[in-house]
Amino acid sequence: MNKNTVVWFLILVLFIGGVVWLIRTPGKPGKLDAFATCIAESGATFYGAFWCPHCQNQKAMFGTSARLLPYVECSTPDGNSQLPVCTDAGVTGYPTWEFADGSREGGEVSLERLAEKTSCVLPSSDGIPSVSVQEGASSTTQ
């Protein structure tokens, strides 16, 4: 085998491996999928803005399961204004959690507190993403 053949063979193997990885990885459930789904089904709503660091921290607590949260984006694409859905809901800071009983909590809310407010079961802490929580830390609307 000459060097060209070996190089092309390695490129092909890496390409096929990458395709297999891309196909398989997104299908793996997150560690908090059931918890995030339960929160969504409980009637809770998570209001936030893409530019808000506390909102990003809140999502990071859920890892890949964040995609299942009942998230409502409040910021306009340019980041300079608030969308009517959030203005009408009376959201004045981010993140804001609204629960089925009508109560609200602003700022980064711990997973344990979300479990209490939604009556959802939080899985054991094994494998749950570790993110420091600044309980009540929030960003105000612009």
User: For residue 95, is the peptide bond before it cis, meaning its omega torsion is within 30 degrees of 0?
Assistant: yes
Helix (H, G, I), strand (E, B) or coil at 2: coil
The torsion angles phi and psi of 76, rounded to 5 degrees, stand at -70, 160
- Domains, the chain, in order of start with CATH, read 33-140 (3.40.30.10)
63 compared with 2, residue with greater pLDDT = 63
Q: pLDDT by residue (tens digit) across 34-47?
A: 999 999 999 999 99
Confidence (pTM): 0.71
Span 24-52, mean pLDDT?
Answer: 91
